[in-house]
Amino acid sequence: MTIAITDVVLRDAHQSLFATRLRLDDMLPIAAQLDDVGYGSLECWGGATFDACIRFLGEDPWLRLRELKKAMPKTPLQMLLRGQNLLGYRHYADDVVERFVERAVKNGMDVFRVFDAMNDPRNMKAALQAVRSHGAHAQGTLSYTTSPAHTLQTWLDLTEQLLETGVDSIAIKDMSGILTPMAAYELVSEIKKRYDVRLHLHLHLHCHATTGMAEMALLKAIEAGVDGVDTAISSMSATYGHPATEALVATLAGTEHDTGLDILKLESIAAYFREVRKKYHAFEGQLKGYDSRILVAQVPGGMLTNLESQLKQQNAADKLDQVLAEIPRVREDLGFIPLVTPTSQIVGTQAVLNVLTGERYKTIAKETAGILKGEYGHTPVPVNAGLQARVLEGGAPVTCRPADLLKPELAELEADVRRQAQEKGITLAGNAIDDVLTVALFPQIGLKFLENRHNPAAFEPVPQAEAAQPVAKAEKPAASGIYTVEVEGKAFVVKVSDGGDISQLTAATPSSAPVQAAAPAGAGTPVTAPLAGNIWKVIATEGQTVAEGDVLLILEAMKMETEIRAAQAGTVRGIAVKSGDAVSVGDTLMTLA
Query: Helix, strand or coil for residue 321?
Result: helix
- pLDDT at residue 62, rounded to an integer: 99
Instruction: Name the pTM for this structure.
Output: 0.83
- pLDDT at residue 500, rounded to an integer: 45
> How far apart, in whole angstroms, are the C-alpha atoms of residue 73 and residue 95?
29
Query: Helix, strand or coil for residue 165?
Result: helix
Q: Give tens-digit pLDDT for 438-471.
A: 999 999 899 999 999 999 999 999 998 875 444 4
- Mean pLDDT across the chain, nearest whole number? 90
Is the predicted pLDDT of residue 498 greater than 60, yes or no?
no
- pLDDT at residue 268, rounded to an integer: 98
Span 126-138, mean pLDDT?
99
- Residue 581 burial (CB count, 10 A): 18
Span 129-155, mean pLDDT?
97
* Least confidently predicted of 25-34, 389-398, 512-521: 512-521
Span 350-379, mean pLDDT?
94
**Which CA distances in Å does 240 have to 84, 308, 418, 531?**
27, 12, 40, 25
Tell me which of 125 and 512 has the higher pLDDT: 125
Is the predicted pLDDT of residue 548 greater than 70, yes or no?
yes
- pLDDT at residue 196, rounded to an integer: 78
- pLDDT at residue 494, rounded to an integer: 52
Span 371-375, mean pLDDT?
97
- Structure-derived torsion over alpha carbons of residues 320, 326, 331, 334, reported in degrees to the nearest 10: -120
Q: Which has the closest alpha carbon to 203: 89, 329, 284, 113?
A: 113
Q: How confident is the model at residue 302 (pLDDT cuts 50, 70, 90)?
A: low
Span 26-39, mean pLDDT?
99
Q: How confident is the model at residue 345 (pLDDT cuts 50, 70, 90)?
A: confident
Please check whether residue 306 is in contact with residue 19, taking contact to mean a CB–CB distance below 8 angstroms.
Answer: yes
HSE toward the beta carbon, residue 312, CA cutoff 13 A: 28
* Least confidently predicted of 192-196, 308-312, 353-357, 576-580: 308-312
